[in-house]
Amino acid sequence: MKKSFISCALGMFLLLVSPMYATAMDTRQKIEMPPMMQEHMLNNMRDHLRALQEIQAALAKSDFDKAADIAEQRLGMSSLEKHGAAHMAPYMPKTMQDIGTQMHRAASRFSRTAQEAAVKADMAPVLEDFSTLLRQCVACHDSYRLR
C-alpha cells in the first residue's frame, strides 16, 4: 500500500511538472555558423547591449546629443560596416536579417529624434523611438539563438 501510494504520488508530481518543463524548453531557432562567426556575433550583441545602457545613461542626464551619437555610431545604419554585417548575413535566416535591418533603422531614427529633443526638450518621442529600437532586439532574441 505504501509503495503504491508513493508511486502514485510520484506519478502525479511528474504529470504536474512535465508541462512546466515543456514550456521551459528553448524553442528559439538555433543559428548554425562557424565558432569564429558566433564569437563575432556575440561580441556585437554585447556591444549593442553596452550601447543601449550608455544611451539610457545619457538620456537620464538629458544629454540627447550624446545619446544620438551612440545610437548612430554603434547601432544605426552607420554601424553596419563596423559590425561586419555583410559577412554575418549569409548565416542568418531572412527573417533574422529583416529584424536586424529594422533594428539598425530604428537606431538611426532614434538618433534623429534624440537630436531634435536637444532643441525641443520633448522626451516622449525619444522614449517612443527607444522603445521601438528595443522591441527589435527583443524580437530577435525571442526568435533566435546561437547556442
pLDDT in tens, 92-102: 999 999 999 99
Whole-number pLDDT of residue 6: 57
Model confidence at 52: pLDDT above 90: yes
SS3 for the chain is: CHHHHHHHHHHHHHHHHHHHHHHHCCCCEECCCCHHHHHHHHHHHHHHHHHHHHHHHHHHCCCHHHHHHHHHHHHCHHHCCCCCHHHHHHHCCHHHHHHHHHHHHHHHHHHHHHHHHHHHCCHHHHHHHHHHHHHHHHHHHHHEECC
pTM of the model as a whole: 0.81
- pLDDT, tens only, 2-46: 555 555 555 555 555 555 554 579 999 999 999 999 999 999 999
pLDDT of residue 118: 87
Q: Provide the pLDDT for residue 1.
A: 53
